[in-house]
Amino acid sequence: MTRNAALVMLACLGCGEANEPVAARASPPRVLSSPAEAVDLDADPLVVHVRLRAAPALHRIGDSEYPGFAYNGQLPGPTIRARVGDTLVVELENALEFDTTLHWHGLSVPYAMDGVTWQTGAVKPGETFTYSFEVTAAGTFWYHPHFDSERQVDLGLYGALIVEAPTEPALDDELVLIFDSWGEFRAESGSGGHGTPGTRPGALEPALGPLHTNEHTPDPGRWTVNGLVAPAFPSRSGTSLRVRLINASNDDYLDLHWSQIRQIASDQGLLPALQTPERLLLAPGDRAEVEWLLGGDDFGIHAEPYSMHGGVALGESHELLRVETEGSRTAPPAPEWPFSGTAASSDPGSTDIVYVFTGDAGGSDWRINGERYPDVTIEELDLGSTAVLELRNASATEHPFHLHGHAFEVLAVGGVAPAVRMLEDTINVRIGEVVRLRLHADNVGDWMAHCHLLSHAEGGMMTVLRVRP
Ligand SMILES: [Cu+2]
């Protein structure tokens, strides 16, 4: 759930004794753990079959309660875990009072399974739809609706999807961290549908709806980690952990730092080499993986103030979570990751598709090449072809560009080629910046290409890239 959520406190402070005052409730748990995993209902080791039920839910965030939505009553939703080559079967039961879908962010799935409503239908209230596809790449992915996304993701519909590769070493432990930011307590009606008209108001209307505050610097105290505010993660010294980070916020960036960042993976699985950046920027929709080699010292994970309106922002560093280690053992040795060492591809210089982002800060009109979804020009590529995409940000905010159905390689950011091969599905483009991408069109479909700031997608910053057979 994110800042742009229109949220309302369920407890009514002036309504008498029928509503228990929020302050009287017990404090929520502060001990951090990975979200509970979905139960695999199929005994076949090559099939992962899970059920997700999307339904209204009451979220407790800090000392407050918020009416929202959840998968299987969980915030975040159940983590789905599979291995490369598995068939994933997900039965989605829609117990909401409006349409929904599931999108598998970062995975290349057949177009009919992508959860978009450009041509195919949504899952209606009371219906169950079964998604089924082979998972073909390892990494940290996530799932969320791609219908009425700004509201539905905001109100709690998201979860992690982990795909393991057999070649990767097992560490002592693993931690899945899903970050979200929460909106102000404010009632405002409204609903949208990613440009899809006719969305039925939900059960909780008119109390809930998008809240477009367009704040330059969101209150860092609104962040949650796996639904918890400023939790502690207890561990033992001498432990090695693989930590998977997902930014599920609608519109808020995470500029993370801690004592030593050892990044092993980004959107599309393992990097070619270990990276030790000073900061780790997670735009909405972005993922990263890091290794924690715990010695005896406690440390905090901090977020620096960061704004879509120009990056580094005013404000103070904020501790999102604290790692508390017991014991005095030294840090374990670094695991042997099967890093490939692959260098970045050279930029051919030519450009096949250009996407120019425009829009004014504070506005709700966001465009790609001057067009607003769904009234867009469809760029086309032949199956099997390779294309260079150039993203040009001529707007007043940053934009995390996300392409469905494909991973892409980053050729250059602001004219600078990355040191190693970077495979992504979501890439932040700063104000005035040009980003060049190499795309191998290997998946037939009408793929959404959009800004993953969900208020911008809702405002029209979405187009369609067709891969024809
Ligand atoms: Cu944007």
Distance 169 CA to ligand 1 centre (A): 37
C-alpha span between 396 and 411 (Å, rounded): 24
Distance 300 CA to ligand 1 centre (A): 30
What is the set of domains in the chain, with CATH numbers? 1-339 (2.60.40.420), 353-468 (2.60.40.420)
Q: What is the pLDDT along the chain (469 residues), one digit of tens a residue?
A: 433 333 333 333 333 333 333 344 455 558 999 999 999 999 999 999 999 999 999 998 887 888 999 999 999 999 999 999 999 999 999 999 999 999 999 999 999 999 998 877 899 999 999 999 999 999 999 999 999 888 899 899 999 999 999 999 999 999 999 999 986 533 333 333 333 322 322 323 323 333 333 343 445 568 999 999 999 999 999 999 999 999 999 999 999 999 999 999 999 999 999 999 999 999 999 999 999 999 989 999 999 999 898 888 888 888 999 999 999 999 999 999 999 999 999 999 999 999 999 998 778 899 999 999 999 999 999 999 999 999 999 999 999 999 999 999 999 999 999 999 999 999 999 999 999 999 999 999 999 999 999 989 999 999 999 999 9
C-alpha span between 242 and 171 (Å, rounded): 6
Measured at the CA of 268, the angle between CA 399 and CA 280, to 5 degrees, comes to 55
pTM of the model: 0.88
C-alpha span between 104 and 142 (Å, rounded): 6
Distance 397 CA to ligand 1 centre (A): 7
- Residues within 5 Å of ion ligand 1, judged at the Cβ atom: 399, 451, 453, 456
Distance 425 CA to ligand 1 centre (A): 15
Three-class HEC string of 259-314: CCCCEEEECCEEEEEEECCCCEEECCCCEEEEEEECCCCCEEEEEECEECCCEECC
Closest CA to 383 of 458, 322, 444: 444
Displacement of CA 43 from its chain's centroid (Å): 30
C-alpha span between 70 and 271 (Å, rounded): 32
Distance 305 CA to ligand 1 centre (A): 18
Closest CA to 147 of 197, 189, 77: 197
β-strands 232-236, 318-326 pairing? parallel
Distance 284 CA to ligand 1 centre (A): 10
Distance 461 CA to ligand 1 centre (A): 7
Distance 298 CA to ligand 1 centre (A): 36
Distance 398 CA to ligand 1 centre (A): 6
Widest distance between CA atoms in the chain = 70
Residues present in the chain in total = 469
Q: Is 14 exposed, middle or buried (0-12, 13-18, 19+ CB in 10 A)?
A: exposed
Closest CA to 399 of 436, 463, 450, 451: 451
User: Do the Cβ atoms of 59 and 76 come closer than 8 Å?
Assistant: no
Distance 219 CA to ligand 1 centre (A): 20
Which amino acid, one-letter code, is at 276?
Answer: T
Distance 402 CA to ligand 1 centre (A): 10
